[in-house]
């Protein structure tokens, strides 16, 4: 399968801050790739470089084989960009908003009108046509933004946190639209904090931490792959004080509390053997924890992500730092760039 997005040793430094620190990955055509990472991990910076809105300190990035630094105009015709936050215009209706971007993309006459009609129908914006674009709900705004990003029918969609701040219904609607786009063969590179949703939507997941890629693979292999190394999870429900599980775990270091719950806690046991779980359960009961339910839970993506971060902190081999840039291109790493002000839209 040919590659839609190719990144090689990409660095982006803002003064002393290493926002992106030598990442490399490929995303094949027609696939949906989730981009996961904590706040400040480098997701937005990477996506902005791919969208030709920022340019790398060093390294290369290509969209459908075209270099984002050398040929930004060609790349722009291939991508649709949804930023994590943006404002809408005052005194402008949804229809006028889309019309402006259709004109700005070079559409004229009937073609312009038909493109607008098409994206409005797809993103279910027809009922909102006469609404002012700055008076929309977050979900409607995201649909409008998606419609705008699709106006020129791009091959690759880069979506930065599109589901952030959406209510459950709007999230389902957005997920539905993304699924349709994926079925149409578009390559989608999407970042989100909601890992479970990404797992359902994405063919592969890319984990980034402190500017470095720490995992690239599909959701199932990620869950399966760490089943043995990451331990086993159990839901423990108790009668009475739910904190009794946490209190007990403080004294028993072979059990880790993952999450406190209304009626108990979610725990992790480092070994996958059933005998070990039985031994821990009996110890809990013996030591006064009034267990009424104890059952094994499926490992989720959040667990996998936390495991990976844990391994990095422990300095596990294979998760070593990337090579340091020696001949930075264009923007020397020691050049301070103000972090307070967003960088100008550069390629």
Partner 1 sequence: MAETSPSATTPPKLPPLPIESVNDFPDRLSPMLVKELRQGLRTSTFVILFLVLQGLLAIVLLVTTPIATAEGSLSGTVGEVVSKIVFCIYALGILVVQPLRGISAVTTEIRQNTIDLMVLTRLSAWRIVYGKWLSIVGQSALIAFAILPYLILRYSFGGMQLFAELVLMAYLFFISGTLTAITVGLSATGSVLLRGLVVVGGSAVMMGYIFFGLHRQIPEFVEILSFTRSDQSLTALAILAIAVYASYFFLEVGTTAIAPTSENRATRKRLLGLTIMVGSYLLLHAVDPALALTSALIIAGCISLDLFSERAKFPSVICRRFLRMGPLGRASGRLLYPGWATGSLFFLTMSLVLFLLIFLTNPDPRNYTYAAIGLGTLAFPAALIQLFARDSSNRFSLYLTLLLLCFVLTAILSELYRVVPEKLLLWVFSFIPAVLLPIAGQSASSPDQSTVLLVSAIITGIYLLIILGGSLPRMAALSKLETEALEDLDAQDLAEVGPDH
Shortest distance, CB of residue 338 to partner 1, whole angstroms? 4
Residue 104-143 contact track with partner 1, rule CB under 8 A, x = bound: xxx-xx--xx--xx--x-----xx-xx-------------
Q: Is 91 in the site for partner 1 (CB under 8 A)?
A: yes
Q: Is 65 in the site for partner 1 (CB under 8 A)?
A: no
Q: Is 189 in the site for partner 1 (CB under 8 A)?
A: no
SS3 state at 172: helix
- Rounded to 5 degrees, what angle do the CA atoms 125, 78, 83 make? 55
Q: Is 186 in the site for partner 1 (CB under 8 A)?
A: no
Q: Is 341 in the site for partner 1 (CB under 8 A)?
A: yes
63 contacts 4 by C-beta, under 8 angstroms: yes
Residues in region 320-339 near partner 1 by CB under 8 A: 327, 329-332, 335-338
Q: Rounded to whole angstroms, how far apart are CA atoms 2 and 305? A: 28
Bridge partner residues of 67 (DSSP):
62
| Phi, psi for residue 281 in degrees, rounded to 5 | -60, -45
| Binding footprint of partner 1, residue count (CB under 8 A) | 55
Please return the burial class of 288, using the count of CB atoms within 10 Å of its CB with bins 0-12, 13-18 and 19+: exposed
Cβ closer to partner 1: 183 or 341?
341
Cβ closer to partner 1: 93 or 237?
93
Q: Is 148 in the site for partner 1 (CB under 8 A)?
A: yes
Could you tell me the two tokens for 290? 């009034």
Residue 278-307 contact track with partner 1, rule CB under 8 A, x = bound: ------------------------------
What does each C-alpha distance from 308 to 165, 171, 283, 347 come to in angstroms?
26, 27, 29, 32
| Phi, psi for residue 77 in degrees, rounded to 5 | -75, -15
Q: Rounded to whole angstroms, how far apart are CA atoms 273 and 254? A: 14
Q: Rounded to whole angstroms, how far apart are CA atoms 232 and 258? A: 11
Shortest distance, CB of residue 341 to partner 1, whole angstroms? 6
Member of 16, 87, 315, 318 binding partner 1 (CB under 8 A)? 87
Q: Is 347 in the site for partner 1 (CB under 8 A)?
A: yes
Cβ closer to partner 1: 244 or 331?
331
- Rounded to 5 degrees, what angle do the CA atoms 136, 80, 24 make? 125
Member of 90, 183, 220, 314 binding partner 1 (CB under 8 A)? 90
Q: Which residues contact partner 1 (rule: CB under 8 A)?
A: 51-53, 55, 69-70, 72, 76, 79, 81, 83, 85-92, 95-96, 99-101, 103-106, 108-109, 112-113, 116-117, 120, 126-127, 129-130, 148, 327, 329-332, 335-338, 341-342, 344-347
């Amino acid at each position: 399968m040919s590659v839609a997005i190719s990144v090689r040793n990409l660095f982006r430094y803002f003064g002393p801050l290493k926002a992106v620190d030598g990442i490399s990955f490929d995303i094949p055509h027609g696939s949906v790739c989730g981009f996961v990472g904590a706040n400040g991990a480098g997701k937005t910076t990477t996506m902005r470089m791919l969208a030709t809105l920022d340019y790398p300190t060093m390294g290369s990035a290509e969209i459908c084989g075209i270099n984002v630094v050398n040929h930004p105009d060609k790349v722009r015709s291939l991508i649709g960009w949804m930023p994590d936050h943006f404002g809408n215009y005052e005194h402008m209706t949804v229809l006028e908003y889309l019309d402006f971007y259709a004109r700005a993309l070079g559409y004229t006459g009937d073609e312009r009108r038909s493109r607008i009609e098409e994206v409005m129908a797809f993103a279910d914006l027809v009922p909102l046509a006469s609404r002012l674009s700055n008076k929309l709900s977050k979900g409607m705004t995201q649909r409008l933004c998606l419609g705008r990003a699709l106006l020129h029918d791009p091959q690759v969609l880069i979506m930065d946190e599109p589901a952030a701040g959406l209510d459950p219904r709007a999230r389902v609607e957005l997920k539905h639209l993304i699924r349709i786009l994926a079925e149409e063969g578009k390559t989608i590179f999407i970042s989100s904090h909601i890992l479970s949703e990404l797992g359902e939507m994405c063919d592969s997941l890319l984990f980034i931490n402190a500017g470095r890629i720490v995992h690239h693979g599909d959701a199932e292999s990620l869950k399966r792959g760490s089943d043995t190394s990451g331990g086993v999870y159990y839901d423990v429900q108790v009668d009475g004080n739910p904190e009794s599980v946490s209190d007990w775990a403080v004294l028993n270091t072979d059990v880790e509390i993952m999450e406190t719950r209304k009626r108990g806690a979610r725990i992790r046991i480092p070994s996958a053997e059933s005998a070990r779980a039985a031994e821990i359960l009996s110890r809990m009961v013996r030591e006064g924890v009034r267990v009424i339910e104890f059952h094994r839970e499926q490992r989720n993506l959040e667990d996998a992500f936390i495991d990976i971060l844990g391994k990095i902190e422990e300095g596990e081999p294979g998760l070593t730092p990337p090579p340091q840039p020696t001949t930075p291109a264009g923007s020397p790493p020691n050049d301070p760039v103000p972090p307070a002000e967003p960088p100008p839209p550069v390629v």
